[in-house]
A = this chain, B = another copy of it.
Amino acid sequence: MSKNLTSRSEDYSKWYNELVVKADLAENSAVRGCMVIKPYGYAIWEKMQAELDRMFKETGHQNAYFPLFVPKSLFEAEEKNAEGFAKECAVVTHYRLQNDPDNPGKLRVDPEAKLEEELVVRPTSEAIIWNTYKGWIQSYRDLPLLINQWANVVRWEMRTRLFLRTAEFLWQEGHTAHETRDEAMAEAELMNNVYAEFAENFMAIPVIKGLKTESERFAGAEETFCIEALMQDGKALQAGTSHFLGQNFAKAFDVKFTNKEGKQDYVWATSWGVSTRLMGALIMTHSDDKGLVLPPNLAPNQVVIVPIYKSEEQLDEISELVKTLMSDLRSKGVSVKFDNRTTYRPGAKFAQHELQGVPLRIAIGPKDLENGTVELARRDIFTKEVVNMDVIVEKVVGLMTDIQNDLYQKALNFRNSHITEVDNFDEFKDVLETKTGFISAHWDGTPETEDKIKELTKATIRCIPMKNKQENGKCVLTGNPSKQRVLFAKAY
């Protein structure tokens, strides 16, 4: 199977598209821009969800569920937000189909069933949620309101790619309400930190925490925190964002509260989200020309055991051994699958598990039965070793941590070696085209310069890193004075 995978150096984009499909993660559907997330891909997403959900609850958030549809009049209430999403909205206009009199057996939209007010399929839920919060918040006693929603959203993107940019995607969106500006700002930063911790410790993806420039902010936000990762082709990927929304939505939806001094004030808001886009980040950070590489934390099966046998007797003997081994591994929290399918040969199984990124493969054959050993193979660095049965559990448990750490370290080294300080625009263009990665350069702080650089190079300002070093310099494009370097890159 994997022999058919295009290599990264040949065509990175093609490699990605092929890998997603061949590793059984997702595929395109009959609906333009919408994907089907296949069981293997969904199992990885479930692991992300479980960990994120745990982290959200640990930081005091509760889950809730709000409607899929946003009435147009609510959608347009916060102008900047509406403007930002209006161009890519799926709009429900009718609520019934009827038999088509001109085409027997076919249906058509019933013209009599036109909605009085159109409904927008949520591209994000600020509008419907803040309209609801109006009824929930009266006093400081009702604050902070810390709510998260797991949901599907729709943005009618013109150019889509599996996981990275799809018309419908799955995500979580946190929406919180606070008494003060400071508290809301702290919440927005806290959740960006939660995302960073999740990306680094759980997904083994190093990220840079930072702030977006004004022109890259979420529509309706006063400040956008983000985490930026670097893919193997040297392009950046925004892996999560957390927004300080000021009082914009509270004002648009008239959400006031009585503060401790007995006075009425507008509530302060945040929102934050990560999506199935993280699947794209995961795939592009760790995988190789042989297929998917998964950190143990995210692998649906951390270990696969493949029996190698010529007779039914040998298979029985191996199966007996495997039964104990699986139970021992599971008692240590290791997920393991025994691939005893009789319809495939060992070679085909090896190829499939390699393509699907199972972190460890254990093969047991007749010689192993004689010697009390197994063959243990690491997916990430392709090492193989013969290991004694009596130490295999301990060995596997240790490798779970090692592989997780090694993948992170490898990605971190790559990322760190791809942040280049640049002081003139020729070098800027050169690094962008040859070395690629993040470029750390002075910028004069104006949207005009930002736009011009984007126009000339396709690079955007990915973020102004948190706790950014302040230093005097000259803008890489205009030569105007600058107080700090920011990170540029081409991005997904």
State how many angstroms separate the Cβ of A171 from the closest Cβ of chain B: 12
Q: How many copies does the complex hold?
A: 2
In contact, A89 and B93 (Cβ under 8 angstroms): no
Q: In the complex the two chains form, what is the Cα distance from A70 to B46 in whole Å?
A: 24
Tell me the chain A residues, 12-49 only, with Cβ under 8 Å from chain B. Answer: 27, 29-31, 34-39, 42-43, 45-46
In contact, B95 and A141 (Cβ under 8 angstroms): no
Q: Which residues of chain B have C-beta atoms less than 8 A from A86's C-beta?
A: 96-99, 107
In contact, A37 and B62 (Cβ under 8 angstroms): no
Tell me the chain A residues, 81-97 only, with Cβ under 8 Å from chain B. Answer: 82, 86-97
In contact, B63 and A39 (Cβ under 8 angstroms): yes
In contact, B65 and A82 (Cβ under 8 angstroms): no
In contact, A74 and B106 (Cβ under 8 angstroms): no
State how many angstroms separate the Cβ of A119 from the closest Cβ of chain B: 7
State how many angstroms separate the Cβ of A134 from the closest Cβ of chain B: 10
Assess whether A132 is interfacial by the CB under 8 Å rule.
yes
Q: Which residues of chain B have C-beta atoms less than 8 A from A92's C-beta?
A: 90-93, 121
Assess whether A262 is interfacial by the CB under 8 Å rule.
no
Provide the main secondary structure of the chain A interface.
Answer: mixed
In contact, B42 and A65 (Cβ under 8 angstroms): yes
In contact, A107 and B43 (Cβ under 8 angstroms): no
Q: In the complex the two chains form, what is the Cα distance from A119 to B79 in whole Å?
A: 27
Closest residue to A62 on the B side, CB-wise? B39
Q: Which residues of chain B have C-beta atoms less than 8 A from A79's C-beta?
A: 105
In contact, A109 and B118 (Cβ under 8 angstroms): yes
Given A34-B67, A68-B168, check contact A109 B87 (CB 8 Å). Answer: no
State how many angstroms separate the Cβ of A16 from the closest Cβ of chain B: 20
Q: Which residues of chain B have C-beta atoms less than 8 A from A68's C-beta?
A: 34, 121, 152, 154, 168
Given A38-B64, A43-B62, A86-B96, check contact A91 B69 (CB 8 Å). Answer: no
Assess whether A265 is interfacial by the CB under 8 Å rule.
no
Closest residue to A99 on the B side, CB-wise? B86
Given A29-B128, A39-B62, check contact A89 B97 (CB 8 Å). Answer: yes
In contact, A89 and B82 (Cβ under 8 angstroms): no
In contact, A69 and B128 (Cβ under 8 angstroms): no
In contact, B91 and A120 (Cβ under 8 angstroms): no
In contact, A36 and B63 (Cβ under 8 angstroms): no
State how many angstroms separate the Cβ of A461 from the closest Cβ of chain B: 28
State how many angstroms separate the Cβ of A128 from the closest Cβ of chain B: 7
In contact, B76 and A106 (Cβ under 8 angstroms): yes
Closest residue to A46 on the B side, CB-wise? B63
Assess whether A71 is interfacial by the CB under 8 Å rule.
yes
In contact, B95 and A65 (Cβ under 8 angstroms): no
Tell me the chain A residues, 133-160 only, with Cβ under 8 Å from chain B. Answer: 135, 141, 147, 151-152, 154, 156
In contact, A67 and B35 (Cβ under 8 angstroms): yes
In contact, B75 and A29 (Cβ under 8 angstroms): no
In contact, A107 and B30 (Cβ under 8 angstroms): no
Closest residue to A65 on the B side, CB-wise? B37
Sample of 5 more A-B contacts, CB < 8 Å, known A69-B90, A75-B97, A151-B152 = A30-B74, A39-B64, A42-B62, A42-B63, A91-B94
Closest 8 CB pairs of A and B: A39-B62, A34-B67, A37-B65, A86-B97, A95-B156, A91-B94, A31-B67, A93-B93
